[in-house]
A and B are shown apart, each in its own frame.
Chain A
Amino acid sequence: MRREHVLTTKELSRSDIEAVLDRAVDIARDPPDRSQYEDTILALLFFEPSTRTKMSFDTAMKRLGGTTVDLGPVGSSSVTKGESLADTVRVIEGYADGIVLRHPSEGAAKMASEFVDVPLINAGDGAGHHPTQTLLDLYTIRENVGFDDLSIGIMGDLKYGRTVHSLSHALTKLDARQHFISPESLRLPRSVRYDLHEAGANVREHTEIEDVLSSLDVLYVTRIQRERFHDENEYRKVAGQYHITPDLLEGADDDLIVMHPLPRVDEIAPDVDETAHAKYFQQAHNGVPVRMALLDLLLGGANK
């Protein structure tokens, strides 16, 4: 895989995805020589707080032997003084060998990539895409249940959940069976349904988890945000319906894995953590080797 930018999972082929995951497996076992990266600087531009994703990239770059620079806390930078994103990234590309961008607006990474020559990685653009989250999700899925004949349930806020959008685009490349479980008001947005339809994806939509649970290899849970609901009662009804407990998981396959991009609120009961189904902390840890692999492939320390 040799790409300038990583903006969405739509543009990644199955072999691109597998190249990153294979590299991550290698890196986890045998990290590359740190001296390759001693002059490499990665800029972390987070226009929206996301401590974990930012720390994960920071850790990944440093574990490879490089260094990072960042904007500092949002609010203290020139951005709040009205500088455009296009100007910011054009300045930063002079400092760094690669840019990681998290921004609250959809399409921000795509636009920013048009202004820079260094590789740019989308670390989340509003309700749009979050491709590196998907890569670590896929890494976790592959190491636990494999990609063959995969049946996955994706549950929660499917409308605004960018991790869901990126994941479902990638799953179409793997010919997975995708079951989407959400309240009617939070179903997948039209643009994502359009893409899945165009890609000929194997997709079903449901409102009840019980309808599909027993057929799943993976249950991917996302947070339903209270502020999406005008009516507190409506929220309570829905939140209760999507609460995963050990009792509920009695109805699932023994090998089912439960994933979550974290942070969770109360959609997964704490006592699920003790079951063999729970893989969300492992999933979070996988962020570092997967991002190391991606940085290694994009910044090409070996080519220096």
Chain B
Amino acid sequence: MTDHPTDNDRELRVSKIENGTVIDHVPGGQALKVLAILDIDGSTGETVSIGMNIPSEKLGRKDIVKVESRELSQNEVDVISLIAPDASINIIREFDVIEKSRVDRPATVTDVIACPNRNCITTQSEPVVSKFDVVDDGVRCIYCDTIVRDDLAEHIQTG
């Protein structure tokens, strides 16, 4: 465990969940983007707790997102890694962490981000899925070269 003990104390400010996923070590202020990636806007009824700008030894300020009764897909984890490369994903069953893993930045993400370039061939009715290379601080369409950096969460394909 690399967590400083005081981090754990401070996490208590955010209520414990019974079953679900805790996404920890999200850079301070990015929690709402994580929710956007998970397509959570409050309308679907999940119980969600968020801690924002919690002092952290490792990140200075970090966010924590706790989602009741939900486990994440690999695609969702891949995309979270793009905005939160230090994030850890904790799977909770009956209030206990049963699995804790680090996110890995993948080399490419396939079929998760819609290319924002409206003139890109992947946005037309062609039998091809979007594919982005992961670059320094964003992703880049392998077809049209468009780089998506700041507004990544807005281009996540849903459904």
Contacts and interface: CB of A to CB of B under 8 A. Distances in A.
Interface of A: 82, 84-86, 103-108, 110-111, 114, 125-128, 190-192, 194-195
A6 to B, nearest CB: 16
Contacts of B121: 85, 103, 105-108, 110-111, 125
B143 A107 contact: yes
A107 B144 CA distance: 5
Interface in B112-128: 117, 119-122, 124-128
A82 B124 CA distance: 11
A126 B124 CA distance: 13
A191 B146 contact: yes
Given A190-B147, A191-B146, A106 B126 contact: no
Interface residues of B, number: 19
Given A86-B128, A107-B143, A194 B135 contact: yes
A interface, over-half SS: mixed
Interface of B: 117, 119-122, 124-128, 135, 140-147
A128 B145 contact: yes
Contacts of A194: 135, 140, 147
Contact of A107 (B125, B135, B141, B147): B141
Nearest to A127: B119
B144 A106 contact: yes
B140 A86 contact: no
A107 B122 contact: yes
5 A-B pairs with the lowest CB-CB distances in the bound complex, closest first: A107-B143, A106-B144, A191-B145, A107-B121, A107-B144
A110 B121 CA distance: 9
24 contacts: A82-B125, A84-B125, A84-B127, A105-B120, A105-B144, A106-B119, A106-B144, A106-B145, A106-B146, A107-B143, A107-B144, A107-B145, A110-B142, A110-B143, A126-B119, A128-B144, A128-B145, A190-B147, A191-B140, A191-B147, A192-B145, A194-B135, A194-B147, A195-B145
